[in-house]
A and B are shown apart, each in its own frame.
Chain A
Amino acid sequence: EDQVTQSPEALRLQEGESSSLNCSYTVSGLRGLFWYRQDPGKGPEFLFTLYSAGEEKEKERLKATLTKKESFLHITAPKPEDSATYLCAVQARDTDKLIFGTGTRLQVFP
């Protein structure tokens, strides 16, 4: 069964304290792995798509990496405005639907 597990469930960081979020997955043929950011009361906002092991993508203070079994979202020198829930999702080769993890709730304090 296709499955996504994210850890930790919650993460509290001081402003400037870098860290990583983990997304472990099992899927019958990976078509793509997606990272989204979700703010309270809003829908998920697309951040990155990764397609194959070894791929990396960056956007401002965020960097996403992919291996054959997991993905990491590295946050460098976070700011309070980075506080949000970060969602990981996979798309299997034979379907368009996204299978989501339950997310990591990130809080960054000044």
Chain B
Amino acid sequence: DSGVTQTPKHLITATGQRVTLRCSPRSGDLSVYWYQQSLDQGLQFLIQYYNGEERAKGNILERFSAQQFPDLHSELNLSSLELGDSALYFCASSVSGTVNQPQHFGDGTRLSIL
């Protein structure tokens, strides 16, 4: 058990809809990262938050947004969903964003767009 909790585990919805994925980091971790894993690509970095502030952005679509709350949990919001958004979405956390600490991953949310 990595200590990172993601909910829900599975999400099935239709095109055009909006969903929210939730992540609770390990106790004491200040950085939260979101990654997308699709069948034809490896894990792709989306966005990082550190202690409530956005730290870095990857190839995150404008339809996607995220935030980190004062209790350090994070939410990834996906809107105007398209078939191609079907993927596994992973959250990871680390102690700090400034030192060489490994990122620990949750078990992901599997998003299926019908």
Chain A: interface residue total (CB-CB under 8 A): 25
Q: Indicate whether B42 reaches chain A with its CB closer than 8 angstroms.
A: yes
Interface: A103 (CB within 8 A): yes
Assuming the contacts A43-B2, A45-B2, A87-B42, asked whether A97 and B105 have C-beta atoms less than 8 A apart, the reply is no
CA distance A51 to B108 in the complex (A): 27
- CB-based nearest B residue for A44: B105
B107 touches A41 (CB 8 A): yes
Q: Which of A41, A42, A46, A97 contacts B102 (CB 8 A)?
A: A46
Q: Are B105 and A45 in contact, with the CB atoms below 8 A? A: yes
Give the number of chain B interface residues (Cβ < 8 Å).
28
Provide the A94-110 mask, 1 if CB < 8 A to any CB of B, else 0.
Answer: 01111111110000000
Query: Is B100 in contact with A32, judged by CB distance below 8 angstroms?
Result: yes
| A2 CB to nearest B CB, Å | 11
Residue B48 is within 8 A (CB to CB) of chain A in the complex: yes
Closest to B110 in A: A41
Out of A42, A96, A100, which one reaches B97, CB within 8 Å?
Answer: A96
Which single residue of chain B is at the shortest CB-CB distance from A95?
B56
Q: Which of A34-88 contact B (CB under 8 A)?
A: 34, 36, 41-46, 49, 51, 87
